[in-house]
């Protein structure tokens, strides 16, 4: 998960609390058998926490603290003290009768007046003035008294919707009064329940077996009467699952599979279209009591700013809005090219809004409903139209309907099993061409995705012909929360609407190539300053009243000092830098403190220029001091981008520092990078194998093709041991003399390819979206003897391939393969060291059971494989399923050899050993998603060393710890 988004959610949610005590009930006049309105309910030890019963006698009282009792006050009655449990007390019935009345002579007017005054100012005071509805309750099988789970509950004729949980409970609300509740279950007729204005809490609905006779079940489900497939109208899933070939929906989906569509953009020689995107970020589950907090008054927020999301009935307040309008031009032949031209963008709420907008965009992936696996948060969800769908979902042919004037089969689907990455929703498949016209996807309750409580997506398509579709609209809502998955917990909505229109295909090729060859500005001049007339003319749909209200509200909030302070704090926490004067960043704050055996405690201070996220030049540097070696270190680098189209960039830098060589097989030429091993605060054993490096580097890079970077580096460095008494890098030179330092001059030519990678912004430091794109790096390194006193002439090659692979329901595999070879004899500081990891932290592409310099090679191959099951195996173990833990299996292997020439040069205190007899390997398993609620950021790995167990001080077993902000 993006750190910026995570911290934004964290700060906003810190304004809220989640109740530890929740009490609902009804106050009854036992003699008259009617509800008592206006009763005051409070905690005796915290009388300021109180509520009042509504016109139906219902009340809801919540507190973050635990209390052992509540007090109920009713005018003309004695106070009652009711004991409560520590957790939840649902559906209490509190009776007042004649014997509880206070004698007229003992009634205290002041008490009566106070209760009346409080009641008059409460939200229940005048029923006719209440214009909202809130419903909570439980569905019960009246015969067995067992709860009814997975029932669909709607406010009639709206999209305000909830699903009963495993205990039959549900809750929904709307800021508009709806007078009827609709309850749909699998085995009972639909119930319609009248609702009062305001709160309707703690209701209990009983369903009896005798009601089942109201409609007769057929093999397909409960239907109104026998009809042909084109006319069947079904109201519920059958209790007994049908074999797929007997299910009418199977015939329809089988025809769809035969005519499987491809995205139309890939089937035309060229294409053009307009894309409109609206992104909104909201704080949800807010109410008037929450808004009454002092902090919201400082933000200039009031109850009138609250709105309700139709699909869930949850209330929310918008905090960020962004609209963009783009022209997209592309071709598939003779070469595949595409360009996006941003014509307009407007945002409200957060300065530097492109950072937040890109962060939110990073949550969403392009979805092709015809794929068997849909990628959400880099996890594989099974598509409802997957060819394996009938092993994952139940399908119900419900009706035939018209969608945008097209006759469609209406198919409902739901997952067969809990705790799998699946959806439930509705499919609309065209009757004449068997193509998806519209589909809704909603995640199931208890979805095992961190920081996410619910996913809702609605996709609309146009079908060009029997084999091609094009997207028309994509509407997505993510219900997110940092801490809790409780429906009542405070959280965030991340909403995105994408609309595509004005499609053009197979236009004259010369005209298209002319557009693609133009040196287009990635951002149009004036794109961020468009007037209202531009948006009125170019939006696909007009802003509705809710949208206008949201803009006004966000503009109002963003002008408050408190909101600006919150945004500044989020940017500091997420980036690690403090901006001064919109020109200089101080940091990185997270690299301020470090420790190693040579420097002892290390303090580092750094800064960089930063005028905007699209800076074309940047200078950054740092200085550091070790309290044990009492030495200052420094680094300084400058970069300049000369062309933002092909990203032609020049850079130069220098540093003098202590570092751990051999922590990565594929070398990083950057001046500002620093090894984890030279800064980790806690590690096993001692590490005296650090080197003192004085390095100067100059480079130029260019991207002649999309996602392909060519880079040339020239590097000069002086290397010596930072602690010669414990570690030396000695070698024999050509004269047979032992030297304990070296001068190295070399050129590095590298090619980096990231097919499918996506970026935002165009400056030096682009924002990279999280994707499953592979990474390929190929380097050729040429040592230059005699150039700038270089001691060695050599040739090396290095190759790295990394690819995360999504396997759908069984998880994700991350594979990294590396290969390298030095073609000449070299001293230890220039050889390929199989990277060990002596820290207690998890470090990618290292070997957890190796110490530094355990294996020294001049030719090597290495393989790292991790498979994340996303909790699939643990879901079959009840306790682990409840804890939402996830399992990881790990394999690492390396083979290498060392030439006799390099061995004969060695005069260091390191005995060269290479894993040349057998492939060295490690294996293990990990448990991730450790934490509580939605905050599950910890991981623990258990690692075993597979062979080479006779080496001195071998580590046969080890435990590593990690933190990962992932979904």
Rounded Cα distance between 219 and 217, Å, is: 7
Asked whether 792 and 782 are in contact (CB, 8 A), the reply is no
pLDDT in the model for residue 493: 84
Asked whether 855 and 833 are in contact (CB, 8 A), the reply is yes
pLDDT in the model for residue 894: 97
Q: How big, in percent rounded to 5, are the helix, strand and coil portions of the chain?
A: 15, 45, 40
- Per the DSSP assignment, residues forming a β-bridge with 58 are 26
* Verdict on whether the full-model pTM lies above 0.75: no
Give one DSSP letter per residue of 408-421, joined into a string: EEEEEEEESSSSSS
* Beta sheet of 46-52, edge-to-edge order: 46-52, 40-43, 69-73, 80-83
Rounded Cα distance between 613 and 585, Å, is: 12
Phi then psi for residue 569, to 5 deg, are: -65, -40
Asked whether 797 and 779 are in contact (CB, 8 A), the reply is yes
Q: How far, CA to CA in Å, does 360 sit from each of 279, 813, 951?
A: 8, 25, 50
**Angle (CA) 870 871 874, round 5°:** 160
Tokens of 73: 């006050």
- Per the DSSP assignment, residues forming a β-bridge with 801 are 776, 817
pLDDT in the model for residue 786: 87
Q: Which parts of the chain register pLDDT below 70?
A: 1-20, 48, 55-56, 86-88, 90, 103-130, 159, 186, 209-239, 261-263, 287-306, 310-312, 349-365, 446, 465-467, 483-485, 487-488, 519-526, 674-683, 685
pLDDT in the model for residue 748: 96
For the chain, the structural domain boundaries read 3-129, 133-214, 262-558, 576-963
pLDDT in the model for residue 591: 86
pLDDT in the model for residue 238: 67
Q: Do domains 3-129 and 133-214 have the same CATH topology?
A: yes
Asked whether 912 and 738 are in contact (CB, 8 A), the reply is no
Q: Which residue has the tokens 């004969």?
A: 904
Nearest to 742 by CA among 865, 830, 860: 830
**Angle (CA) 108 111 115, round 5°:** 140
Rounded Cα distance between 924 and 89, Å, is: 45
Rounded Cα distance between 574 and 569, Å, is: 9
Element (H, E) at 511: helix 509-517
Contacts made by residues 914-917, CB under 8 angstroms, sequence distance 24+: 914/855, 914/856, 914/857, 915/834, 915/855, 915/857, 915/948
Q: How far, CA to CA in Å, does 950 sit from each of 924, 953, 955?
A: 20, 9, 10
CATH number of 576-963: 2.40.160.50
Question: How many CB atoms are located within 10 Å of the residue 890 CB?
Answer: 20
Report the topology of domain 133-214.
Immunoglobulin-like (2.60.40)
Task: Summarize pLDDT for 425-467 with one digit per residue, the tens.
Answer: 999 999 888 889 999 999 887 677 777 888 899 999 987 766 6
pLDDT in the model for residue 221: 36
Asked whether 139 and 207 are in contact (CB, 8 A), the reply is yes
- Chain-centroid distance of CA 311 in Å reads 21
Rounded Cα distance between 933 and 486, Å, is: 9
Report the topology of domain 3-129.
Immunoglobulin-like (2.60.40)
pLDDT in the model for residue 226: 31
Q: Which residue has the tokens 């001091």?
A: 625
């Amino acid at each position: 998960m993006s750190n910026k988004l995570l911290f934004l959610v964290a700060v906003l949610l810190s304004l809220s609390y989640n109740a530890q005590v929740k009490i609902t009930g009804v106050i009854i006049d036992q003699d008259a058998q009617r509800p008592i309105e206006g009763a005051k309910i409070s905690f005796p030890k915290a009388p300021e926490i109180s509520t009042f019963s509504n016109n139906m006698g219902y009340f809801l009282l919540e507190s973050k603290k635990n209390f052992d009792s509540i007090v109920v006050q009713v005018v003309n009655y004695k106070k009652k003290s009711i004991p409560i449990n520590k957790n939840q007390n649902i559906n209490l019935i509190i009776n007042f009768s004649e014997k509880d009345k206070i004698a007229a002579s003992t009634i205290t007017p002041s008490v009566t007046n106070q209760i009346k005054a409080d009641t008059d100012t409460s939200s229940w005071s005048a029923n006719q003035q209440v214009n909202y509805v809130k419903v909570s309750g439980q569905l019960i099988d009246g015969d067995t008294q067992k709860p009814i789970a997975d029932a669909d509950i709607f406010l009639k004729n709206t999209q305000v919707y909830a699903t009963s949980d495993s205990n039959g409970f549900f809750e929904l609300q709307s800021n508009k009064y709806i007078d009827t509740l609709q309850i749909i279950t699998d085995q009972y007729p639909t119930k319609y329940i009248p609702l009062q204005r305001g709160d309707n809490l703690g209701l209990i609905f009983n369903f009896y077996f005798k009601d089942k006779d109201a409609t007769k079940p057929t093999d397909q489900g409960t239907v109104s009467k026998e009809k042909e497939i084109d006319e069947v109208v079904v109201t519920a899933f059958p209790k007994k699952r049908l074999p797929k070939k007997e299910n009418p929906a199977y015939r329809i989906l089988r025809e769809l599979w035969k005519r499987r569509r491809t995205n139309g953009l890939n089937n035309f020689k060229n294409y053009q279209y307009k894309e409109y995107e609206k992104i909104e970020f909201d704080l949800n589950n807010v109410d008037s009591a929450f808004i009454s907090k002092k902090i919201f008054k400082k933000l200039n927020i009031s109850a009138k700013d609250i709105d309700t999301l139709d699909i869930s009935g949850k209330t929310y307040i918008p905090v960020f809005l962004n609209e963009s309008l783009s022209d997209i031009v592309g071709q598939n032949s003779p070469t595949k090219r595409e360009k996006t031209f941003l014509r307009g963008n407007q945002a409200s709420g957060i300065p530097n809004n492109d950072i937040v907008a890109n962060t939110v965009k990073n949550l969403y992936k392009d979805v092709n409903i015809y794929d068997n696996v849909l990628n959400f948060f880099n996890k594989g969800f099974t598509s409802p139209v997957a060819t394996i769908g009938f092993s994952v979902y139940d399908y119900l042919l419900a009706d035939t309907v018209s969608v945008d004037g097209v006759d469609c089969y209406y198919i409902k689907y739901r997952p067969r099993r809990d705790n799998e990455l699946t959806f439930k929703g509705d499919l609309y498949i065209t009757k004449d061409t068997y193509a998806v016209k519209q589909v809704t996807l909603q995640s199931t309750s208890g979805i095992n995705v961190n920081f996410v409580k619910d996913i809702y997506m609605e996709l609309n398509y146009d079908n060009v012909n029997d084999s091609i579709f094009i997207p028309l609209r994509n509407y997505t809502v993510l219900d997110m929360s940092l801490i809790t998955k409780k429906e009542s917990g405070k959280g965030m909505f991340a909403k995105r609407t994408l609309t595509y229109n004005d499609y053009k295909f197979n236009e004259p090729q010369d005209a298209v190539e002319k557009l693609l060859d133009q040196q287009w500005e990635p951002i149009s001049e004036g794109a961020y300053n468009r007037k209202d007339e531009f948006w009125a003319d170019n939006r696909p749909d007009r802003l509705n009243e809710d949208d206008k209200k949201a803009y006004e509200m966000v503009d109002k909030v963003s002008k408050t000092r408190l909101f600006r302070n919150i945004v500044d704090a989020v940017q500091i926490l997420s980036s690690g830098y403090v901006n001064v004067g919109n020109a200089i960043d101080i940091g990185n704050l997270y690299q301020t403190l470090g420790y190693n055996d040579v420097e002892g405690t290390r303090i580092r201070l750094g800064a960089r220029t930063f005028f905007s996220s699209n800076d074309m030049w940047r200078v950054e540097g740092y200085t550091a001091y070790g309290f044990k070696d009492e030495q200052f270190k420094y680094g300084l680098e400058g970069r300049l981008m000369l062309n933002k189209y092909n990203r032609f960039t020049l850079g130069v830098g220098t540093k003098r520092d202590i570092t751990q060589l051999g922590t990565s097989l594929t070398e990083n030429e950057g001046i500002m990078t620093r090894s984890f091993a030279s800064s980790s605060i806690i590690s096993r054993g001692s590490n005296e194998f650090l080197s003192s490096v004085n390095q100067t580097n100059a480079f130029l890079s260019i991207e002649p093709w999309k996602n392909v970077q060519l880079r040339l580096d020239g590097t000069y460095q002086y290397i010596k041991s930072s602690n010669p008494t414990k570690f030396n890098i000695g070698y024999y030179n050509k004269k047979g003399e032992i030297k304990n330092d070296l001068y190295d001059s070399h050129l590095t030519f590298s090619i980096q390819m990231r097919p499918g990678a996506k970026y935002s912004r165009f400056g030096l430091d682009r924002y990279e979206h999280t994707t499953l794109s592979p990474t390929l790096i190929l380097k050729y390194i040429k040592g230059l003897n005699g150039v700038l006193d270089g001691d060695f002439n050599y040739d090396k090659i290095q190759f790295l391939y990394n690819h995360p692979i999504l396997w759908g329901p069984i998880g994700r595999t991350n594979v990294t393969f590396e290969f390298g070879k030095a073609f000449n004899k070299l001293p230890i500081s220039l050889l390929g060291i199989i990277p060990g990891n002596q820290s207690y932290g998890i470090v990618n592409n290292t070997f957890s059971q190796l110490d530094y310099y355990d294996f020294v090679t001049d030719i090597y191959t290495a393989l790292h494989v991790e498979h994340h099951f996303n909790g699939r195996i643990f879901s079959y173990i009840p306790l682990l399923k409840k804890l939402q833990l996830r399992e990881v299996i790990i394999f690492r292997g390396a083979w290498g050899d060392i030439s006799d020439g390099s061995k004969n040069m060695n005069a260091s205190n390191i005995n060269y050993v290479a894993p040349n007899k057998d492939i060295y390997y490690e294996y293990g398993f990990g448990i991730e998603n450790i934490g509580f609620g939605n905050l599950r950021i910890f991981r623990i790995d258990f690692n075993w060393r597979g062979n080479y167990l006779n080496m001195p001080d071998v580590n046969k077993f080890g435990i590593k710890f990690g933190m990962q902000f992932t979904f």
